[in-house]
Structure 1
């Protein structure tokens, strides 16, 4: 039996290379990881909403499962919103009922937004609750990372040199994804793990716990595993990765 493929979706302003350390670690254990570069991150023309991100995620996962492979989807930060939207009809159990091979066997939320159907981060044009480390510009339709605040918020548990490196890799984020409204919540239908990082200064652990409890109080849900990294900040897929096979 083949091992599942990991499809790793980055959070707001994060390029796909943010998953390079965990991709290398998983390879040591015989697993393949596919980091996703979202169109809404770093693009020249800003996206109107999260539709293009959803399409890209579905395309990558569909290629895997249509080959009969199982997939574990990893979501980080804001990608919990778009990732939860993108998996409709791709779950392993649902595909098995339809006589199809392959499917998403688990979702792993790493300090990611886990939200219900109908969630909208803000009304279109409203940037009043933008993440503090992002500078919104309605004229360009993007939010640009502020280096000093990004280092303090996202990379707080790194050495300065490492934090500088990863801060320099952050990219402008299309504002439209924050104004999109969800229509699907994949965690209701696919087994789900939530990973708390107690030192996260972006999505605080208290807020993460509130989101998860709200989801667990909503029926149906398939949140069956909660893990905790007590020393980890927002970027545990960089700072808390094993390099041993």
Structure 2
């Protein structure tokens, strides 16, 4: 039997990794080891000026796992796609095998996440226009999310607990350009979320269709937070990305 990959969850802007708790519980019950990443940009006392520390936060979680010879499936959500793709550099299974090392990132799983090419920032993808629900500080250092119940959790029955977990985010990370697009080098899945009010469905599809690579695509009739509203379905989608036949 092929060992199951360790599943590492990378949240979006403003979010802690505990947002994935229901999906992680279901995957752990199915025999998967899971862990999450906390970002330096979320709730920061000193605001980040680029994505470097968030990329490092992912690599600092992934590297000890792959150095044990284990494989990793990296689940990225929203802004997590920007830094998640960047974090793959040197940690994918093929690159490590060339160095005589076992283990590595074997699959990327984008949950309504930004899949950006090199040289493009999140704000570039938004045509340098803040979304209507961005609340940016006067000094351009902090961004918060207005109306999260409508933007992130529009199909979540009781989002109050998760809304209370949201923190500020370092706004300049949104202006930091991608230098490595991991989805070009690692097999990848994109989970399209049809009710997403943060990244509309047409924008999600455009990132997949314009990428120039072949994606495995799943679709859920879900908001920006399927890990809360449809955890069973998302867990099954991740299992399929991990190689299970369901």
Give the TM-score taking structure 1 as reference length: 0.89
CA distance in 2, matches of 1:128, 1:199: 24
Q: Is residue 111–residue 194 contact of structure 1 (8 Å, CA) maintained in 2?
A: yes
CA distance in 2, matches of 1:130, 1:82: 19
CA distance in 2, matches of 1:168, 1:85: 29
Identify the residue that residue 38 of structure 1 maps to in structure 2.
39
SS in 2 for 1:242: helix
- Alignment of 1:134 onto 2:129: no
Identify the residue that residue 71 of structure 1 maps to in structure 2.
72
Aligned counterparts, 1:31-110, within 5 A: 31-110=32-111
Identify the residue that residue 232 of structure 1 maps to in structure 2.
222
Q: Is residue 10–residue 77 contact of structure 1 (8 Å, CA) maintained in 2?
A: yes
SS in 2 for 1:227: strand
Shift in alpha-carbon separation, 1:193–1:128, aligned structure 2, 3 A:
closer
Shift in alpha-carbon separation, 1:128–1:16, aligned structure 2, 3 A:
same
Identify the residue that residue 155 of structure 1 maps to in structure 2.
153
Shift in alpha-carbon separation, 1:122–1:97, aligned structure 2, 3 A:
same
Please list the CA deviations of residues 171-200 of structure 1 after superposition, one character each: whole Å capped at 9, or x if unmatched.
100012101011110011000000101111
Q: Is residue 6–residue 71 contact of structure 2 (8 Å, CA) maintained in 1?
A: yes
Aligned residues: 233
User: Cα RMSD (Å) of the superposition?
Assistant: 2.1
CA distance in 1, matches of 2:18, 2:109: 18
Shift in alpha-carbon separation, 1:168–1:127, aligned structure 2, 3 A:
farther
Q: Is residue 76–residue 84 contact of structure 2 (8 Å, CA) maintained in 1?
A: yes
Which of 180, 184, 188 does residue 188 from structure 1 map onto?
184
CA distance in 1, matches of 2:5, 2:107: 10
Q: Is residue 140–residue 172 contact of structure 2 (8 Å, CA) maintained in 1?
A: no
Please list the CA deviations of residues 35-84 of structure 1 after superposition, one character each: whole Å capped at 9, or x if unmatched.
11111011111111111001111111111000101000001011111111
CA distance in 2, matches of 1:54, 1:70: 19
CA distance in 2, matches of 1:170, 1:132: 18
CA distance in 2, matches of 1:207, 1:186: 19
Q: 5+ residue gaps in structure 2?
A: 237-246
Deviation at 1:138, TM superposition (A): 3.7
Identify the residue that residue 169 of structure 2 maps to in structure 1.
173
Deviation at 1:7, TM superposition (A): 0.7
Deviation at 1:140, TM superposition (A): 6.7
CA distance in 1, matches of 2:131, 2:19: 19
Deviation at 1:163, TM superposition (A): 1.7
Shift in alpha-carbon separation, 1:203–1:140, aligned structure 2, 3 A:
closer
Identify the residue that residue 240 of structure 2 maps to in structure 1.
none
Deviation at 1:30, TM superposition (A): 0.8
